Amino acid sequence: MTDKRPARPAKAASQPDGQPVLLSGGNPQIPKGAGDTPVQAYIAAMPGWKSGLGRRLDALIVQAVPGVRKAVKWNSPLYGMDGQSWFLSIHCFTKYVKVAFFQGASLQPVPPGASKMPGTRYLDIREDHTLDEAQFLAWVKQASELPGERM
């Protein structure tokens, strides 16, 4: 027997003050959605210093790839070229923000963080870490020119 009820839109849990719930590691629980609005909601909900970093990363990505597509899926902002395949994601953890380059093994130089996924490489940014913006911009530009991950 199948359920004939219409699907309800995704709704993220919120705290009594209306702020999004922070999941494990302080990752904001933001409803899935396409476009800049859900990405900005995620960035605004990033706790503490991570929100400022999120704003800077988002601005650098837009600078490197004008017209980049954005979405939030699985409580992480995604960036891509066509809205169906993605080259980069951001995710909050307790002590750092992780940037995943889905084809990072093809970037020059290769980002430092290894992954169990063969092509993926990570950049972990901690509060006391100085982001090499020139290198980040170069990675983002290179990543945007490679085939993205379909999700």
Mean local confidence (pLDDT), 13-33: 73
Q: Tell me the CA distances in angstroms from 136 to 63, 104, 124, one per residue in order.
A: 11, 12, 12
Q: What is the pLDDT of residue 71?
A: 96
Q: What is the pLDDT of residue 7?
A: 44
Mean local confidence (pLDDT), 79-98: 93
Is 18's pLDDT higher than 70?
A: no
Closest CA to 144 of 68, 58, 63: 68
**Full-model pTM:** 0.85
Q: What is the pLDDT of residue 11?
A: 47
Using 50, 70 and 90 to split pLDDT, how confident is the model at 4?
low
Is 95's pLDDT higher than 90?
A: yes
Average per-residue pLDDT for the chain: 88
Is residue 99 helix, strand or coil? strand
Confirm if 38 and 44 have CB atoms less than 8 A apart: no
Is 123's pLDDT higher than 70?
A: yes
Domains in the chain (CATH in brackets) are 24-150 (3.90.1150.200)
